[in-house]
Chain A
Amino acid sequence: MSSITLKNLVKKYDDGFPAVNDISIDIEDGEFIILVGPSGCGKSTLLRMIVGLEDITEGDLLIGGERVNEKAPRERNLAMVFQSYALYPHLTVYENIAFPMRLTKGKFTKEEIDEKVRHAATMLELTEHLDRKPANLSGGQRQRVAMGRAIVREADAFLFDEPLSNLDAKLRGQMRAEIARLQRELNTTSVYVTHDQTEAMTLGDRVAVLKKGLLQQIASPRELYEQPANLFVAGFIGSPSMNFLPGTVEGNVFSTPLGKIEIPDRAAKAGEGRDIVLAGIRPEFFDDASQLSEAQLSKGTTFTAEISHSEWMGNEQYAYVSYETDERVHETLRNLAEEMDADELRTQLVVEVDATSRFRSGDTAELWLDTRRMHLFDPATGENLTRDEEAGAELTREAREDRKRDAERFVARQG
């Protein structure tokens, strides 16, 4: 078990393209870090640099305080689960799991190997499949064999490269829980690459959001969600993703294509004197005004809008409101959509309302907006103008405490 330190890591390919550009992350011992981003953001490359399958062009990589830049993968004592599982098809499940130990001649006795393999198999419910070949296993079982091979190593850290992307949705949910449980139990430092934000949000102690080789923000899932550093992080995290409404701030009034919205002082101050800003509003910041109490209504602002269509999901309901976008932010939003691998940019607001609301297309509805939680972004730089550093840091600190408490609780239960 070890900490991993990435110091200004750079990966440049022969053509000079920086796939990973000046990334620094301190990963604590026992921490579960997620690398997330759209395809081509360099997250897999970064993981492969840590494990040693990809050379480091510049910067330092420290594992347990020791620089390992020049070390071969086998000398780094890390275990990796590949996207394709990479099981050895000519070996049985037992031999697949035992493979890493067989390579270290003389270090383990036969009995030790057998005990470790059986222990891992029990943990992963593979005991009855030990004599089978990978070809005869289901996707989920193969995935577990790959994890078993990682566990027996007693490696300093686990690295996962999109391990669940080949499984169907139901199995993915199960394996996600499984990985979270194992990581807590073993309390092993883990780095996990994914493009699935559900995995990122549920598994990670901290999540590093990458875009085009650059680290955008690294924070606990809650901080990413509540206090995103910029437009990209705000748009990438959350589903359905954040609405970006262009407008101009004058005093405490925010003029948008949907009408004038009253905003709190903090936002007013941040947006003051700017030609145009983008308001980042998550779908759940809205609600159906007719269903709220006076007390609730007074905490935000109400406005009316025409519903273009609505989707009733059972537990919630999404209503869509179309609006004319502003030419001045058109370019920004289009780039953003492209960066996030999203389809075309939407010029409609997604509003999440209670499932009991009866919104139909064409209705003119009175909507309530929780203006305290919205953020304002600079369309030119993407910077979050209303980010509360302290509140964000507090969220990440809490996540860290939660993790420590989890680990202690587990140790206590074991003892």
Chain B
Amino acid sequence: MASNGKLTGKQRLGWTVLSVVVLVYALFPVAAILATSFKTQADLGTASFLPGSPTWANYEMILFGDAQGLFLTALRNSIGITLIATFIAVVLATLCAYAIARLDFPGKKIILGSALAVSVFPVISVVIPLFNLWRNIGLYDTWLGLIIPYLSLTLPISIWTLAAFFRQIPWDLEQAAQVDGATQWQAFRRAIVPLAMPGVFTTAIIAFFIAWNDFVYGISLTSTEAARPVPAALAFFTGASQFEEPTGAISAAAIVVTIPVVVLVLLFQRQIVSGLTQGAVKG
């Protein structure tokens, strides 16, 4: 972009067109699902984009109607499991990334390397042995049985992002705090953590997405409503008769699950964007 921040008319037009194209490309599916969620069963077959006679029936069905039991418990499972997994991942990753960024210890490269290896390992190849193991030790169809595999998905990426973030924080700050009379823990908590907050938030959101959107573990490691998360539960929706596809209900459910994610991002947008480390050192 132009370094002085001023764009010429042509550039502005170009950027606008490009932005619109990208927005439409990214948001069209969401809009389509939103439109579908308001369609009546009869409308689903028609070729029009907008619902002919908009109805809340699909939402009523998943929130108060037949599918209520299936959807609401799944929603509760999803929120609970995802939040716990995210929280554990962020706390562990913060401590681990701090150690990786600050300390020189043997095996540092191995930790980073294996974290990366785990994150690229295909989920589907792990899920069958995990299924067997979980059945044997009683973790099958429990919250913990999902939280543990979710940690294996979220921890590596959390460690990598946070380690990169910690490396940017000037080490001088921590040393200054120590000279000022802080213990190692105080220096970490009062000088480093506040600065790392944007990174922690970013990481938390990424971890949350990963756990929230998981389908393979969700469907393979659960069998009842005890632990089944929303993405898996959607597959168990049924229509009014065996000849009807529950498309409307699934769309409504999809919209409902998207809302927390959108809210989360809007809520923490400021923390993610703010460059807090500014002004720490010379200018």
Q: Could you tell me which A residues sit within 8 Å of B by CB distance? A: 51-53, 72-74, 78-80, 82-90, 99-100, 103-104, 133-139, 142, 149, 153, 166
Contact = CB atoms under 8 A, between A and B. Distances in A.
A149 B283 CA distance: 19
A84 B281 contact: yes
B181 A74 contact: yes
A90 B195 contact: yes
Nearest to A102: B190
Contact of A90 (B177, B182, B183, B276): B276
Interface string B178-195: 111111001000110011
Contacts of B191: 88
Interface residues of B, number: 25
**Top 7 A-B pairs, shortest CB-CB distance:** A135-B279, A86-B176, A84-B281, A86-B172, A100-B180, A166-B282, A134-B279
A215 to B, nearest CB: 24
Nearest to B182: A103
Contact of B172 (A82, A100, A137): A82
A149 B176 CA distance: 10
A139 B282 CA distance: 7
B170 interface: yes
Contacts, number: 90
A207 to B, nearest CB: 24
Nearest to A100: B180
Given A80-B176, A82-B172, A88-B191, A137 B279 contact: yes
A89 B279 contact: yes
B280 interface: yes
A211 B282 CA distance: 28
Contacts of B92: none
A99 B174 CA distance: 13
A103 B186 contact: yes
A47 to B, nearest CB: 11
Contact of A99 (B172, B180, B277, B280): B180
A80 B176 CA distance: 7
Interface centre among A89, A133, A136, A149 (most CB of B within 10 A): A89
Contacts of A86: 170, 172-173, 175-176, 280-281
Interface string B146-173: 0000000000000000000000001011
Interface of B: 170, 172-173, 175-183, 186, 190-191, 194-195, 276-283
B172 A89 contact: no
A103 B189 CA distance: 12
Contacts of B170: 84, 86
A153 B181 CA distance: 9
A84 B172 CA distance: 7
B278 A135 contact: yes
Contacts of B280: 84, 86-89, 134
A389 B175 CA distance: 41
Nearest to B195: A90
A135 B194 CA distance: 15
A87 B279 contact: yes
B178 A73 contact: yes
A137 B195 CA distance: 18
B282 A85 contact: yes
Given A86-B170, A86-B173, A74 B178 contact: yes
Contacts of B281: 84-87
24 contacts: A72-B183, A73-B175, A74-B183, A79-B180, A80-B176, A80-B179, A82-B175, A84-B172, A85-B281, A86-B172, A86-B176, A87-B280, A88-B173, A88-B177, A89-B195, A89-B279, A89-B280, A99-B177, A103-B177, A103-B180, A103-B190, A135-B278, A142-B283, A149-B180
Given A86-B173, A86-B175, A89-B278, 17 more contacts: A52-B179, A74-B179, A82-B172, A82-B175, A82-B176, A83-B282, A85-B282, A86-B176, A86-B280, A87-B281, A88-B173, A88-B176, A89-B277, A89-B280, A90-B276, A135-B279, A142-B283
Contacts of A100: 180-181
Contacts of A153: 180-181
